[in-house]
Amino acid sequence: MPELGESVTEGTVTQWLKKEGDSVEADEPLLEVSTDKVDTEIPSPTSGVLTRILVAEDETVEIGAEIAVIGSADEAQTGQGQPAAEEPAASPEPAASEPASSEPEPSPEPEPSPAPAASAPSSQETQAPSQPRAEAPAAERPSETGATADTAPSVDIETLSGAGQQAGTDAVTEAYVTPLVRKLAADEGVDLSTVRGTGVGGRIRKQDVQRAAQEQREQRERATTEPTARTGATPAEPARRVVPDTTLRGRTEQMSPLRQSIAEQMAESLRVSAELTQVIEVDVTNIARLRERLGEQFLAREGVELDFFPFFAVATVEALKTHPKLNAVIDSTKYEVTYHNVENLGVCVDTDGGLLAPVIKDAGDLNLGGLARKIADVTSRAHSGQLTPDELSGGTFTLNNTGASGALFETPIMIQPQVGILDTGAVVKRPVVVEDPNLGEVIAVRSMVYLALSYDHRLIDSSDASAFLRSIRERLEEGAFESELGLS
C-alpha cells in the first residue's frame, strides 16, 4: 500500500482493476483505494503479470502493507500451471462416477476438453455435431476464445429473445459496476444505464454516480425554483439551493469514512487548540465595480469567472507574508513554534460526500489570475473526485467560503496543525454610513462582507488577529488590483 498523503495511515481496497494472471504495464491503473480523505486509483509500480492478490476488496490495511505480487511472465506460467493441472484431475472423478449412478449424458465429454488449449478446437469440432441441442456449442465458445464465465452471457445476445437480451445487458453492466457503486446508485436514485463510466474500459466509478446524482439534483432545482442572482458566490462554490433529503427521516446508517474523519479532526482541533474567533466588516464596493467593468474580459483571458473569492485569497496570502504568526505550526510536546516560509493555501469545498480542503501550494507566488484558475481547478476536481492525496495535505492556512451558501459568516474550526482559518461571508448590498469629502457623513448603498478569523490563542493574541484582519481589510477596500487585471 503506497503513501497516500500526509497523516494518512491506512487505505481500503475498493476495487481491483486487474485480476490474477493479467498482464500490467508500469503506471497502468491497478486498483482503487479509499482513504478517509480521498478515493484514488493506484498505478502499477512495474510491468509484468499480476501473479497474486493478497488483499481482498473492501479490506483495509496499513500503509506499507503488501497487497499484491507482480512477477514475470515465466513466473506467472509456473504459478498457474499447478492449478490448471489439478483441475482436470479432479473433474474426471465426478464425471466417471456420474454415469455409474445415472444415465449417460453427452455433456461430461466436453468438460475435460478445454484443459489442453492447443488441441481443444479440433476435439470440440468433432463433438459439436453429436450434441442434440445448441446449448453445448454455445457454452463451449467462451472457452475457445478465453472468455470468462462473467462475460459468457453476452456471447449469444444477438440470438436471444427480448428477455434474454435484457439479462445479457445486465450481466455486462455487472462486470463494470462494483457492489459499492450499485448501492450508491440505488441510494441516490441514479439509473446506471444512463451513466457514462470514466474508469478503465468504460467502468462506472463512484465519482461517476456522484456526478450523475448532482446533475439530477440541479435539474430538479431548476425545475422547482426561480433563478437567483449571485451575490458573492465563487466559481468554485456556486450558490445553490439545498434540496432537503426527506429519505433520511427515521433512518440509522453508518457515517462515511470522510464524515468520520471530519468528525474526528474537528473534535480534536477543539480539544488541542484554544480557539477564538474575531469578526470584521469590509467594504468591497471598489472590487464589485472592477468585476462589473472587467468581468467578461477576465473570463475570456483566464477562462474562469472574476468573483470575489480570488480577491479574498490574494489579500489573505499577502497578509500572511507580513503576519507570519498566522502562518505557523505549534509542536505542543516541545512548546516550539515553526513559522512557514511558504503560503500553502487550503480552500474549503463542500462536496456531496463532505467537506474537503484541497491545498494550493506556493499560493504566495501566484497573482490574481493564477489564484483564480487554481481555485476553480481544485474545486472542480474536488466535486468530481479527481483530487490526489497530496493535494489534500500540506496546507499552512485555510480559507472557508461560507458566503457561497448565502450565510453572512460563521465561526470556522481550524484544520490541525494550522493556527488560523479565515471565513468569508456573503457579499451583500446594504445602506451604510460613509464619509463624503464634500457632504460629510452620508448614507450610501455599498457592497459589504464579514470576515471571521478563528485563531489559536496559544500563539496568537487578539491584537495579532486584529492586525492581520486590518491588513486584509485595507487591501480589499483600497481595491488596487488594476495592474493584475491588465490595467495601468
Other Cβ atoms less than 10 A from the Cβ of 421: the count is 27
User: Is 113 domain-assigned?
Assistant: no
The most distant pair of C-alpha atoms in the chain lies apart, rounded to whole Å, by 114
> Is 352 one of the catalytic residues?
no
421 within a domain of the structure (yes/no): yes
- DSSP conformational letter for 430: E
CA 358, chain centre distance (Å): 11
Which of the following is catalytic: 27, 150, 331, 461? 461
Half-sphere exposure of 190 (CA within 13 A, CB side): 25
Measured distance CA(349)–CA(34) in Å, rounded: 19
* Residues shown for the chain: 488
Concatenate the DSSP letters of all residues of 78-110 into one string.
Answer: HHHHHHHHHHHHHSHHHHHHHHHHS---STTTT
Spatial CB neighbours of 150, under 8 Å, sequence gap ≥ 6: 171, 174, 175
DSSP per residue over 362-408, as a string?
TGGG--HHHHHHHHHHHHHHHHTT---GGGGS--SEEEEEGGGGT-S
Look up the pTM and report it: 0.60
Q: Residue 24: give its domain's CATH number.
A: 2.40.50.100
Are residues 323 and 471 in contact, defined by beta-carbon separation less than 8 angstroms? yes
Chosen domain end from 45, 71, 97: 71
Mark which of 24, 46, 71 sits at the end of a domain: 71
Angle in degrees, CA 138, 141, 142, rounded to 5: 110
For 250-302, give the DSSP string: T---PPPHHHHHHHHHHHHHHHHS-EEEEEEEEE-HHHHHHHHHHHHHHHHHH
pLDDT, block means (10 residues), the chain with 488 residues: 79 88 89 79 89 90 92 66 43 45 47 42 39 40 40 36 39 50 79 77 75 81 51 44 70 84 89 95 96 89 91 97 96 92 95 88 93 93 86 93 91 94 96 90 95 97 97 95 73
Domain-embedded: residue 330? yes
C-alpha cell at 413: 474550526
Does the residue 98 lie in any domain?
no
370 part of a folded domain: yes
The answer to whether 331 is a known catalytic residue is no
Position 124 scores a pLDDT of 39
Whether residue 157 lies inside any domain: the answer is: no
Q: Work out the angle between the directed axes of helices 135-145 and 120-127 (0-180°, nearest 10).
A: 170
User: How much is the pLDDT for 214?
Assistant: 82
**What is the helix, strand, coil percentage profile of the chain, to 5?**
45, 20, 40
**Cβ atoms of residues 481 and 293 within 8 Å:** no
How far from chain centre, in Å, is Cα 78?
Answer: 40
- Give pLDDT, residue 66: 94
Does residue 458 sit in helix, strand or coil?
coil
Is 483:320 a contact under the CB 8 Å cutoff? Answer: no
Containing structural domain, residue 32? 10-71
Q: How far apart are CA 369 and CA 170, in angstroms?
A: 48
Residue 431, domain member (yes or no): yes
**Distance between CA atoms of residues 378 and 380, nearest Å:** 6
Alpha-carbon distances of 176 from 50, 57, 161, 173, 395, rounded to whole Å: 20, 15, 23, 5, 36
- What whole-number distance in Å separates Cα of residue 287 and Cα of residue 307? 9
* Boundary-marking domain end, from 27, 48, 71: 71
Is the four-CA dihedral 210, 211, 215, 218 of positive or negative sign? Answer: positive
CA distance from start to end of the chain: 53
User: Which residue out of 156, 377, 457, 464 is catalytically annotated?
Assistant: 457
Which CATH number covers residue 400?
Answer: 3.30.559.10
Domain count, the chain: 2
In a domain, 224, yes or no: no
Dihedrals φ, ψ of 307, to 5°? Answer: -105, 180
What's the confidence (pLDDT) of residue 243? 57
**Model pLDDT, residue 322:** 96
Cα–Cα distance measured from residue 131 to residue 141, given in angstroms and rounded to the nearest whole number = 14
